[in-house]
Amino acid sequence: MAKITDEMKALIKEQQAFIATATPDGIPSIAPKGSTRVLDEEHITFAESAGKRTYENIKKNPRVAIVACDRAQMKCLRFEGKAEIITSGPLFEKTQEGMKKMGAPPPQAVIKVKVEAIYDLGVPGFGKKIS
């Protein structure tokens, strides 16, 4: 089981994360998500406010990859897993409050990703599986 370390949590907290999805027939898409957060050692979340391509892809194909990079340090990680769409409950409400404080539009959903694999994409990692 993949585990998100404190160093990985810091990278996600401090850097822009990008979410990669694909349509059921394999057409790729990638989008920045400023709301990306680590929930615990096994889950990453982000708010879905726009409800466009990323959200539509996840509804049909829940497999995602999340990439966070620090170019200055040449550290980059890819987290792969399966997304769950959450539209009510404590996590949704907490995310809704956080988005409001940031002045961002309210989320349609919170996407909770169960991380199944983690890869080092930095130097000298070059795609090595970490966990």
pLDDT digits (tens, 9 = 90+) for 3-44: 999 999 999 999 999 999 999 899 999 999 999 999 999 999
127 confidence band (pLDDT: 50, 70, 90) = confident
At residue 1, does pLDDT exceed 90? no
This prediction has a pTM of 0.93
Computed over every residue of the chain, the mean pLDDT equals: 94
Fold of 6-129: Pnp Oxidase; Chain A (2.30.110)
DSSP 111: E
% the chain with pLDDT above 90: 82
The pLDDT of 66-78, averaged and rounded, is 94
| Residue 118 Cα distances to 35, 57, 65, 66, 128, angstroms | 20, 21, 9, 10, 9
